[in-house]
Amino acid sequence: MPRAPTTTILETLQGGARLARRAGLGRLVDTAGIAQLDYRARKGRVGSGEEAILGVLLGELEIRRDWVVDIAACDGVTNSNSLALYSTGWSGLAVEGSGASFAWLSHVYRGHPDVHLARLWVTPTNAVDLLRAYGVPREFGLLNLDIDGYDHFVLGALLEAYRPVVICAEINEMFAPPIKFTVRYDPEYAWAGDRFFGQSLAKLDELGQAHGYAIAEVYYNNAFLVRTDRLRRDPLSPAEAYRSGYLDRADRLERFPWNAEVESIHSLDLDGKLAFIRSLFAAYEGRYDLST
C-alpha cells in the first residue's frame, strides 16, 4: 500500500498532471504515463522486494507455472508480487476495484492472455463466487491479498473454499504479537489513509492455523503463510516472525517513517499497548476487534 513519502510523490505528480491537462496537454500526459508504466512493467515489480522471498519459497515447494490470484492488484506493477510470475507463464486472476488503477492494470496485462482481469471491490460475500466465476482451481500456487481493510474476513471466506499453497498477506505492522487486531467487515468501509486498516500478524496466524497454515516468513508489512502439509522448513511463531521480519530490521523506520509517531507502543507492557490502541482508534470504536 503506498503511503507517506511515496504518497507525497504520487500526489505531486498527479497535481502536475492535472495542471497540464488544464493547459490542454492531456494527450501528452497520457502518453508519458503509459510510457513510464510500460518501462516499469518491463523492469518488473516496483516495491520492497518480496518477490525474492517468494522465489525462494516457491523453489522450496517446487511450484512452477501455477495460478496466482492477486486481490487488490493496483496498477499491476506497483508493489506487485504477481507481475514477475505472470511474465514467466503463470496463469491467474488479477482483481482491482479502482477504475483508474484497473485501466492501468488492463494496459499492463494486455500481453498476458492467461491472466484474467476483474474490476471489483472484493468482500467476504463475493470473494468465493468471484474465484469460481473465473475457474480458479481449488488448490493453486499463490494468493496475494492487500485490500487495506477487512482483509481478515475476505481471507477467512476464501479459505473455507480454496487451498492456496502460499499466501502473501499484508499485515498492520504496528501491532506486535500477541495483539490480535482486525478491522471488522463493513460494506461501507473505505481506508482513510491512516493507521486503521488490516489485521495484525497474531490475528492472521490465528486464522491461518485454523485452516492448516503456518508462518514461513515476515518481510516488513507482509506475511508469508504456507500450508503445513507442504511446508519444508520450520514454521515461525508470530513473535519470532515479527521480531526478525519487522522489529529488528534496522531500516524499518526509514521504510515506514510515519511509524515514528507510534514507536512508543513497543516500550509498553501488554495492558499499556491495548490502552494505546484504544486511544488511538477512539474514533473507530465498535469497528474493530482487539484481543490477546
Q: What is the pLDDT of residues 245-262, one digit of tens each?
A: 999 999 999 999 999 999
Residue-level pLDDT at 19: 63
Is 12 a residue whose pLDDT tops 80?
A: no
**What is the DSSP pairing of strand 142-145 with strand 222-227?**
unpaired
Long-range CB pairs of 210-218, under 8 A, 24+ apart, other chains included: 211/159, 213/159, 213/167, 215/241, 216/57, 216/166, 217/53, 217/57, 217/241, 217/245, 218/171, 218/242, 218/244, 218/245, 218/246
Neighbour tally for 251: CB within 10 Å? 8
Distance of CA 233 to the CA centre of its chain: 23
Task: Please give the residue that has the higher pLDDT: either 178 or 9.
Answer: 178
**Contact indicator for 217, 236 with CB cutoff of 8 Å:** yes
Task: Please give the residue that has the higher pLDDT: either 75 or 243.
Answer: 243
User: pLDDT tier at 81 (50, 70, 90 boundaries)?
Assistant: confident
What number is the average pLDDT over the span 29-37?
52
* Cell numbers linked to 143: 494468493
Indicate the range of 137-141, 160-164, 188-192 predicted with least confidence: 188-192
Q: CA-CA distance, 96 to 73, in Å (whole number)?
A: 5
Over residues 179-199, the pLDDT tens digits come to 999 999 999 999 999 999 999
Task: Please give the residue that has the higher pLDDT: either 94 or 23.
Answer: 94
Is 4 a residue whose pLDDT tops 70?
A: no
Residue-level pLDDT at 2: 40
**Contact indicator for 212, 227 with CB cutoff of 8 Å:** yes
Q: Alpha helix (H) ranges present in 61-198?
A: 83-86, 99-108, 127-133, 151-159
Residue-level pLDDT at 104: 87
Indicate the range of 44-48, 66-70, 170-174, 178-182 predicted with least confidence: 44-48
Residue-level pLDDT at 118: 98
CATH topology of domain 45-291: Rossmann fold (3.40.50)
Residue-level pLDDT at 92: 96
What number is the average pLDDT over the span 266-282?
98
Domain ranges (residues) in the chain = 1-43, 45-291
Residue-level pLDDT at 33: 53
Sign of the torsion formed by the C-alpha atoms of 85, 174, 238 and 214:
negative
User: pLDDT tier at 7 (50, 70, 90 boundaries)?
Assistant: very low
End-to-end Cα spacing for the chain: 26
* Angle at the Cα of 73 from the Cα atoms of 177 and 100, rounded to 5 degrees: 125
Is 162 a residue whose pLDDT tops 70?
A: yes
DSSP letters of 39-67? HHHHH--BSSSHHHHHHHHHHHTT--S-E
Is 141 a residue whose pLDDT tops 60?
A: yes
Is 1 a residue whose pLDDT tops 50?
A: no
Residue-level pLDDT at 250: 95
Find residue 223's DSSP bridge partners: 169, 218
Residue whose C-alpha cell is 482451481: 137
Q: CA-CA distance, 127 to 149, in Å (whole number)?
A: 14
Indicate the range of 42-56, 63-77, 157-171, 229-243 predicted with least confidence: 42-56
The region, left, alpha or beta by phi > 0 then psi within -120 to 50, assigned to residue 109 is alpha
User: pLDDT tier at 282 (50, 70, 90 boundaries)?
Assistant: very high
